Amino acid sequence: MSHLVAPSVLSADFGNLQRDIEMINHSSADWFHVDIMDGVFVPNISFGFPVLKSLQKHAKKPLDVHLMIVDPDRYIRAFKEAGAAVLTVHLEACTHLHRTIQNIKQQGMMAGVALNPHTSVNLLTDVLPDLDLVCLMSVNPGFGGQKFIENTYRKVEQLHAMKKEMGSKALIEIDGGVDFNNYTKLVECGANVLVAGNTVFGASDPSAAITILKNR
Ligand code: DX5
Ligand code: ZN
């Protein structure tokens, strides 16, 4: 399977949200990456359900929702209703991660777990078989446009090896600082989904930027 590209809506122009959604609809992007931040788990607040509802109304591709919030269990059902196809929670934010993953799957969504840059992939040993996606944060979560952390390559390789060993089909997603210089190497190391905010929306031609990220 060739890799997927998921533009991050966080970097869109919220004054022209419908225009930016249509751009993604008509581009070669695969998913919409949607960052939900609560100002507690991360030092920033992004947007909530009203914006997500507008997104759901116009988006013609699956919504890949990345929750950077504490106690995400409270909202699993609400995100299903808001149209999430993939729901990703942070390992660092979940006391009963296994239960949270089961709840997401019971609601009929793909279940993802995100790891901060300091969190070892080894902590996934006991849940990897249950996961549809692992999101490796390649920046500290909270903001778009940050610099890619080089140690991520090693984590992708480690996780790729773990997947093989355990027969896991979980997609490896890379989130943060993905650009034209690192995306090829990330895919070569085993990445399956590339999230890109600044590289897409900071480009003079966002749709062309997506096409570049799709073709290595
Ligand atoms: C960071 C978010 C990312 C962010 C990526 O906390 O989870 O999804 O939007 O943006 P770029 O690609 O600009 O680093
Ligand atoms: Zn994200």
For the chain, where are the alpha helices, taking DSSP H only?
Answer: 17-26, 49-58, 76-81, 97-106, 152-166, 183-189, 198-201, 206-214
Closest ligand to the CA of 183: 1
Angle of helix 17-26 relative to helix 206-214, nearest 10 degrees? 40
Dihedral of CA atoms 194, 199, 205, 207 in degrees, nearest 10, equals 10
Q: What tokens appear for 109 in the block?
A: 């969504």
Nearest atom (ligand 1) to Cα of 114: 7
To the nearest whole number, what is the mean pLDDT of the chain?
98
CB proximity list for 52: less than 8 A, separation 6 or greater: 34, 36, 63, 65, 79, 82, 83
**Which residue in 84, 132, 135, 143 sits closest to 110, CA to CA?**
132
Angle of helix 17-26 relative to helix 49-58, nearest 10 degrees? 40
**Beta partners for residue 143, in sequence order:** none
Nearest atom (ligand 1) to Cα of 179: 12
Q: For ligand 1, say whether the CB of 197 is within 6 Å of any of its atoms.
A: yes
Q: What tokens appear for 117 in the block?
A: 């840059």
Q: For ligand 1, say whether the CB of 66 is within 6 Å of any of its atoms.
A: yes
Q: What is the pLDDT of residues 110-142, one digit of tens each?
A: 999 999 999 999 999 999 999 999 999 999 999
Q: For ligand 1, say whether the CB of 7 is within 6 Å of any of its atoms.
A: no
Q: What phi, psi does 114 have (nearest 5°)?
A: -105, 145
CB proximity list for 50: less than 8 A, separation 6 or greater: none
Q: What CATH class does 4-214 carry?
A: alpha beta
Per-residue pLDDT of the chain (216 residues; tens, 9 = 90+): 799 999 999 999 999 999 999 999 999 999 999 999 999 999 999 999 999 999 999 999 999 999 999 999 999 999 999 999 999 999 999 999 999 999 999 999 999 999 999 999 999 999 999 999 999 999 999 999 999 999 999 999 999 999 999 999 999 999 999 999 999 999 999 999 999 999 999 999 999 999 999 997
Pocket perturbation via mutation, ligand 1, pick of 13, 20, 35 by most ligand atoms within 8 A of CB: 35
Rounded distance between C-alpha atoms, residue 85 and residue 61, angstroms: 9
> What is the spatial order of strands in the sheet that 193-196 belongs to?
4-7, 193-196, 171-175, 133-137, 110-115, 84-90, 63-68, 32-37
